[in-house]
């Protein structure tokens, strides 16, 4: 899982608006209002959520398997991290169980079934601090760690209930891009830190090992470390290559798509298989492998009865559990809401209503359940949630496209007129878009198909850009995005995560060094699309070479904000990142690391506007990811003819339009003339804000 937090006000279902003082008071005066409205809205379409899944047939398995691998592999990695940090009090078994249990509950009872739940890196960090604190207290110790963590979950659930009851989700837009990208960068740094610590640890003796064992001799520890470097970097490089397979010039479209979707778990299998090919003379345990009890072992079964030990925790620690609960509740509130928002961005054209308040209330219930049975809680995760929606958008598009093309070709055989052909395609679209569509839905569909209608009716005109009418060509160009909104894919992938517990004997064969490579992959793969990272790279571009940035696709702020203000804003974020990262190194007080992100709300509203021009601040902290396409310096006229046929699948198109975290890009034409671009290339001549 990649728990990168990004708040996207533009491009998200417009439910959440910035809250004024009056609106906040209004939320307090009307408790449960948001939950009730969300419940009623989702109740009306609950039956259709299951009907849509059944109508999809076997096709639903493609997005199910896609999101299963995207969910299970990170959870296994986080489970190994939990095992190391908690001295095996928790492991991959508990992480997978929590992900499966919470996913099943949410897919059946949740408000937004497109949202994917899983154990996230913030949960791992928090539980590490909880264990460190409990272990250092003689009246708690490692024995009562899970019992005390259970009380933390009780307080966390209570706080989530209050946030949902008093409609707190209406103020989530106070967290802007600057907070989201800072948190995303912090998680990426922590991922890379875990990868580096893991690789270095391959040269050391594992804490649970027998020091006299042959594998702990210096020469075998050295061999284990070298193999760890090979497997870590091998997984990292091959995973990054396969992730971008859709842009390869080699192979068929199906092969490239398969490798892009399933290449990372496939590479984990490949490198794990290579680890089994070591010579027989190498002692058992070289290379070092994942450590975890089996689901049916006593160590795993005891967690289910941790509620019996909660009464042994003293009242002082029960009350003290409120402090970490505040931090965890704040993280879950932020993470869960943002993941839900990115899963239902406006460009996905979702028809069913959102359910932020109701889902927050349900998150409190699942957190409480996990705490009482000794499991780390799960919450909405990124980028799996928008990845799930994107995969269902491809499925729905394929289904609608196939039926519309068939209907158009049937009409053409009967020599029907262009208006009759369009009318038939419109009927198919409305029928498949929603079997129970209303008159309002008919009007909405007609409006969305306006471009397709014009293209079909004008296809015989010599001035038509689309040329002679071709059903497949015209539908591909003008078919609106549709998502197969249903609950089955989420339920099935959660069941598969639970079923993977039975494969723990095989999962334990994965070398730990492969997981360190996967942590590094998650860190690096999260960086594209993070404007904070892109601006940091921009600082190292010399003034004479900045025109290269403009020649490629680039963020809109590159043209609209002078370089010195870009540098100042980036340096502020970098210093703030160092502060947040430094807090995580404080042994016990590190549990307060989310606090700077909450303080950032006040800094963004009251301090930054005093130092940055409002126009510049708006561009640098924009709600959406706006991208301006570049132009090649020697672009010839031949490339503008439009006669070349290209093979490009729906998945490839959506990959180009989304960042690594699932955020949709907004492409716009540059509003500046070439002279303006030159001013940006040489910013010393452009010290004043533009007067538009």
Q: Which of 448, 478, 508 is the last residue of a domain?
A: 478
623-642 pLDDT, tens digit per residue, is: 666 777 765 554 433 333 34
Q: Do 568 and 458 fall within a single domain?
A: no
Of the candidates 478, 494, 523, which is a domain's last residue?
478
**Cα atoms found within 13 Å of the Cα of residue 397, Cβ hemisphere only:** 23
Query: Phi and psi at residue 151, in whole multiples of 5°?
Result: -65, -35
The answer on 663 and 551 residing in a single domain is yes
pLDDT at 593 over 90: no
- pLDDT digit string (tens) for 227-263? 999 999 999 999 999 888 888 888 887 888 888 888 8
CB distance 425 to 446 below 8 Å: no
- Residue 331 is assigned to a structural domain of this protein: no
Q: How far, in Å, CA of 369 to CA of 240, rounded?
A: 37
| Residue 15 placed within a domain | no
Domain termination residue (choose one: 437, 458, 478): 478
Q: Are residues 572 and 668 in the same domain?
A: yes
Number of domains in the chain: 2
Quote the CA–CA distance of 102 and 363 in Å, as a whole number.
Answer: 9
Whether residue 429 is contained in a domain is answered as: yes
Give the CA dihedral 94, 95, 101, 105, nearest 10 degrees.
Answer: 150
Mean pLDDT of the region 501-517: 91
Residue 155 lies in a domain: no
How many whole angstroms separate alpha carbon 205 and alpha carbon 199? 12
Q: Are residues 662 and 583 located together in one domain of the fold? A: yes
398: helix, strand or coil: helix
| Out of 38-42, 360-364, 412-416, 483-487, least confident range | 412-416
Q: Is residue 22 part of a domain?
A: no
Which DSSP letter does residue 139 get?
A: T
How would residue 448 be classed by pLDDT, with cut points 50, 70 and 90? low
Q: Which DSSP state fits 493? A: H
Q: Which residues pair with 259 in a beta bridge?
A: none
pLDDT-derived band at 479, boundaries 50, 70, 90: low
Q: Does residue 474 share a domain with residue 604?
A: no
pLDDT digits (tens, 9 = 90+) for 320-354: 999 999 999 988 998 888 888 878 877 677 888 88
Per-residue confidence at 458, pLDDT binned at 50, 70, 90? low
The stretches of 552-641 forming alpha helices (DSSP H) are: 557-560, 563-583, 595-602, 608-611, 614-620
Residue 447 — pLDDT band, cuts 50, 70, 90? low
pLDDT > 70 fraction of the chain, expressed in percent and rounded: 75
Q: Report pLDDT for 674.
A: 44
Q: Which domain holds residue 423?
A: 393-478
In this prediction, residue 597 carries a pLDDT of: 83
Residue 621 lies in a domain: yes
Q: Please report the pLDDT score of residue 481 as a whole number.
A: 65
Distance CA 407, CA 487 (A): 29
Partners of residue 664 on adjacent β-strands: 658
Structural domain includes residue 604:
yes
> Does one domain contain both 468 and 550?
no
Q: Supply the mean pLDDT for the chain.
A: 79
User: pLDDT of 126-137, one tens digit each?
Assistant: 999 999 999 988
How far apart, in whole angstroms, are the C-alpha atoms of residue 518 and residue 380?
Answer: 21
| Listed residue (403, 451, 450, 458) closest to 425, CA to CA | 403
pLDDT (0 to 100) of residue 436: 44
Are 554 and 467 part of one and the same domain? Answer: no
Asked whether residue 554 falls in the same domain as residue 655, the answer is: yes
Packing angle, helices 177-201 and 531-538, rounded to 10: 80
Select, from the ranges 20-34, 195-209, 528-542, the one with the highest average predicted confidence (pLDDT): 528-542
User: Does residue 8 fall inside a structural domain?
Assistant: no
Q: Looking at residue 12, what is its pLDDT?
A: 36
Q: What is residue 211's predicted lDDT score, i.e. its pLDDT?
A: 63
Same domain, 440 and 563: no
How confident is the model at residue 653, as a pLDDT?
A: 57
Please tell me the distance from the alpha carbon of residue 385 to that of residue 665, in angstroms, as a whole number: 17
Are 549 and 681 in the same domain?
yes
Quickly state the pLDDT bin for 587 (edges 50, 70, 90): confident
């Amino acid at each position: 899982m990649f728990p990168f937090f990004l708040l996207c006000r533009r491009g998200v279902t417009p439910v959440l608006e910035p809250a004024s003082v009056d609106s906040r008071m209004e939320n307090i005066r009307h408790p449960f209002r948001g939950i009730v409205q969300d419940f009623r809205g989702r109740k009306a379409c609950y039956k259709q959520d299951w009907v849509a899944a059944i109508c999809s047939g076997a096709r639903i398995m493609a997005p199910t398997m896609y999101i299963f691998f995207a969910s299970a592999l990170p959870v296994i990695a986080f489970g190994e991290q939990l095992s190391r940090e908690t001295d095996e009090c928790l492991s991959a078994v508990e992480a997978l169980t929590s992900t499966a249990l919470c996913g099943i509950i949410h897919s059946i009872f949740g408000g937004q079934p497109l949202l994917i739940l899983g154990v996230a890196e913030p949960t791992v960090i928090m539980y590490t601090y909880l264990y460190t604190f409990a272990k250092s207290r003689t009246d708690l110790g490692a024995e009562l760690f899970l019992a005390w963590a259970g009380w933390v979950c009780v307080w966390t659930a209570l706080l989530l209930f209050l946030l949902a009851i008093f409609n707190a989700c209406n103020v989530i837009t106070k967290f802007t891009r600057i907070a989201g990208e800072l948190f995303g960068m912090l998680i990426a740094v922590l991922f890379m830190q875990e990868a580096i610590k893991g690789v270095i640890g391959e040269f050391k003796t594992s804490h649970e090992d027998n020091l006299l064992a042959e594998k702990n001799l210096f020469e075998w520890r050295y061999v284990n470390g070298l193999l760890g470097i090979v497997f870590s970097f091998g997984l990292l490089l091959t995973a990054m290559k396969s992730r971008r397979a859709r842009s390869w010039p080699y192979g068929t479209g199906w092969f490239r798509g398969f490798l892009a979707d399933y290449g990372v778990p496939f590479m984990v299998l490949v490198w794990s298989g290579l680890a089994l090919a070591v010579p027989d003379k190498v002692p058992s345990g070289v290379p070092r492998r994942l450590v975890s009890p089996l689901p049916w072992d006593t160590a795993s079964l005891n967690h289910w009865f941790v509620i019996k030990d909660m009464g042994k925790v003293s009242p002082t620690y029960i009350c003290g559990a409120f402090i970490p609960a505040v931090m965890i509740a704040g993280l879950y509130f932020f993470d869960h809401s943002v993941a839900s928002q990115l899963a239902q961005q406006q460009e996905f054209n979702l028809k069913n209503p959102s359910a932020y308040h109701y889902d927050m209330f349900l998150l409190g219930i699942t957190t409480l359940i996990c705490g009482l049975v000794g499991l780390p809680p799960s919450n909405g995760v990124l980028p799996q949630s928008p990845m799930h929606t994107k995969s269902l958008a491809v499925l729905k598009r394929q289904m609608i496209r196939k039926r519309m093309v068939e209907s158009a070709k049937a009409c053409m055989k009967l020599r029907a007129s262009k208006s009759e052909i369009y009318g038939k395609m419109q009927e198919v679209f409305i029928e498949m878009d929603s079997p129970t569509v209303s008159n309002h839905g008919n009007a909405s569909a007609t409006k969305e198909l306006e471009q397709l209608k014009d293209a079909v009716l004008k296809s015989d005109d010599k001035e038509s850009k689309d040329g002679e009418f071709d059903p497949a060509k015209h539908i591909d160009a003008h078919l609106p995005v549709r998502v197969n909104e249903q609950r089955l894919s989420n339920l099935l992938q959660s069941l598969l995560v639970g079923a993977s517990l039975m494969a723990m004997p095989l999962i334990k064969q994965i070398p730990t060094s492969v997981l360190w490579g996967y942590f590094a992959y998650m860190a690096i793969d999260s960086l594209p699309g993070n404007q904070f990272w892109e601006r940091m790279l921009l600082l190292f571009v010399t003034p004479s070479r900045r025109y290269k940035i403009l020649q490629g696709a680039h963020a809109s702020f590159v043209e609209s904000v002078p370089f010195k203000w870009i540098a100042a804003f980036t340096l502020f974020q970098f210093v703030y990142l160092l502060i947040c990262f430094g807090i995580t190194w404080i042994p016990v007080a590190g549990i307060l690391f989310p606090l700077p992100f909450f303080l950032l709300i006040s800094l963004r509203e009251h301090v930054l506007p005093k130092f940055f021009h409002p126009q510049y601040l708006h561009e640098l902290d924009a709600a959406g990811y706006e991208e301006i396409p570049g132009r090649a310096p020697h672009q010839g006229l031949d490339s503008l003819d439009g006669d070349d046929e290209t093979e490009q699948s729906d998945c490839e198109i959506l990959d180009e339009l989304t960042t690594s975290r699932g955020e949709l890009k907004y492409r716009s034409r540059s509003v500046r003339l070439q002279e303006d671009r030159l001013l940006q290339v040489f910013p010393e001549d452009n010290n004043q804000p533009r007067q538009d």
